Amino acid sequence: MLSSRISGFHKKSVQDRLEIIAEKTDLTKDEIKILKKYGSLDEKTADTMIENVISTFDIPLGIATNFTINDEEFFIPMATEESSVVAAASNAAKIARDCGGFYVNSLGPKMIAQIQLVNVKSPSQVKFKILNEKEYLLKKANDQDPILKKFGGGAEDLEVRVLETPLGYMVVTHLIVDTRDAMGANSVNTMAEVLAPEIEKITGGRVYLRILSNLADKRLVRAYTRIAPSAIGGEEVIEGILNAYTFASCDPYRAATHNKGIMNGISAVAIATGNDFRALEAGAHAYASTYGQYTSLTRWEKDTEGYLVGFLELPIAVGIIGGATAVHPVAKIALKILGAETGPKLAEVIGAVGLAQNLAAVRALATEGIQKGHMSLHAKNIAVMAGASETEVDEVADKMVEGNQVNMEKAKQILEEIRR
């Protein structure tokens, strides 16, 4: 019987780990060969990034073109396994660029760390006591990270929230830290841990959690675009887009998909640049629920001249230093291609990509539907899986799309016909 308990697995070499897993899960020689093949992320680097490494995992890196953001040109590196995402972003950016492109701004790289004080009897008194020591606590936090302070960042403010919970009052201190060019998770988590015993001393209470919040709503990015009716296919297309947006704004079932489309773009750039895309996903979806009901992260409107106006606002906590951005060789090159010299600039570019991705999705959904775009690449994948050679792939894929039947059986049938 297979047991997943392997003593000391983490201490073994990559090769030894692979051998153990191969033996236990009956991997073939060819499968092992695939796992032993490394790309630009080599075995040694991968082994320093996470635990229990046995190989690396490649996904395609594409470049979205046509982007102008705040009147500057950008090539956007996107790492994603989903077909159509890069093409859709490029298409939407092309539509937008003829009308001036995207405009962005942001609140700056301010991260929140939470310190949870529990079982509080007199929350107002405790809140006052903590705020009374604000300067002392900020200094303590900054002493922890003098480098951040030196570069103009550091702990800037303290806010205290009272929660009424089933376990009594909790008093939650928010430490607000300017993390400069870093995403900042490590800095703010360390600061929160340093402040925890101080807060216990000041209040006489008990702290449990000390951790950042991914609802980074002091780190908002806004992206904007204004599109002429002629650039997007006319007034009827704009009506369709407004109906698509309004659906998402009123219905959480639709909003989830609408926002997923936005995150297709945002997460792809985050992955390409070595940023924590789960943090962005968490922040985005939490921010979409700010007013109680989960809703669309974008807004689409028609202005007085009949132009389509798009607006996206969400937290984007990314950096250009530290973490995988610093060690993953492809992430470093992606940052160079993108040309974002600061963390906030990267965040703003990512905001524009999110808006472009949404524009592409609502435009396609309100007109021909998204399957047409999706299907041609999907059909190529199926054709390859059915055994089509390089010279056969396009013909098999085209025939499947034409016949509106994209599946393995059809691919095999077409392949047989061609070969006959």
Catalytic positions: 82, 260, 276, 374
Q: In the range 83-112, which residues lie near ligand MEV by CB under 6 A? A: none
- For ligand MEV, give the closer residue by CB, 103 or 247: 247
What's the Cα-to-Cα distance from 259 to each of 52, 274, 314, 348, 375, rounded to whole Å?
33, 22, 11, 17, 21
Stretch that binds ligand MEV, among 4-12, 25-33, 258-266, 310-318 (CB under 6 A): 258-266
- For ligand MEV, give the closer residue by CB, 170 or 375: 375
257 is a contact residue toward ligand MEV (CB under 6 A):
yes
Interatomic CA distance for residues 398 and 393, integer angstroms: 9
Q: How far is the CB of 88 from ligand MEV (least distance, A)?
A: 8
Q: How far is the CB of 337 from ligand MEV (least distance, A)?
A: 24
323 is a contact residue toward ligand MEV (CB under 6 A):
no
End-to-end distance of the chain based on CA atoms, in angstroms?
Answer: 48
Q: In the range 136-155, which residues lie near ligand MEV by CB under 6 A? A: none
- For ligand MEV, give the closer residue by CB, 171 or 364: 364
Q: Check: CB of residue 350 under 8 Å from CB of residue 221.
A: yes
Whether the CA torsion 391, 394, 397, 399 is positive or negative: it is negative
79 is a contact residue toward ligand MEV (CB under 6 A):
no
- For ligand MEV, give the closer residue by CB, 257 or 290: 257
What's the Cα-to-Cα distance from 114 to each of 145, 219, 323, 327, rounded to whole Å?
17, 15, 21, 28
Give the one residue of 49, 309, 370, 384 binding ligand MEV; rule: CB under 6 A: 370
DSSP string across 275-334? --HHHHHHHHHHHTTTTSS---SEEEEE-TTS-EEEEEEEE----SBSHHHHH-HHHHHH
By C-alpha distance, which of 310, 348, 357 is closest to 72?
348
Q: How far is the CB of 370 from ligand MEV (least distance, A)?
A: 5
Q: How far is the CB of 357 from ligand MEV (least distance, A)?
A: 8
* Strand stretches in 121-219, DSSP E: 154-165, 168-178, 206-212
Q: Check: CB of residue 262 under 8 Å from CB of residue 383.
A: no
Give the one residue of 17, 110, 258, 399 binding ligand MEV; rule: CB under 6 A: 258
Amino acid at 143: D
Question: For helices 29-36 and 14-24, what crossing angle results, to 10°?
Answer: 150
Per-residue x/- track, 330-369, ligand MEV (CB under 6 A): -------------------------------x---x----
Q: Give 274's contacts (C-beta < 8 A, 6+ positions apart).
A: 323, 324, 325, 326, 327, 328, 331, 332, 334, 335
Q: Please tell me the count of residues contacting ligand MEV according to CB under 6 A.
A: 9
Stretch that binds ligand MEV, among 103-111, 203-211, 256-264, 321-329 (CB under 6 A): 256-264
Q: How far is the CB of 254 from ligand MEV (least distance, A)?
A: 8
260 is a contact residue toward ligand MEV (CB under 6 A):
yes
Residue nearest ligand MEV, Cβ-based: 261
264 is a contact residue toward ligand MEV (CB under 6 A):
yes
268 is a contact residue toward ligand MEV (CB under 6 A):
no
Residues recorded for the chain: 420
Binding residues (CB under 6 A) for ligand MEV: these are 82, 257-258, 260-261, 264, 361, 365, 370
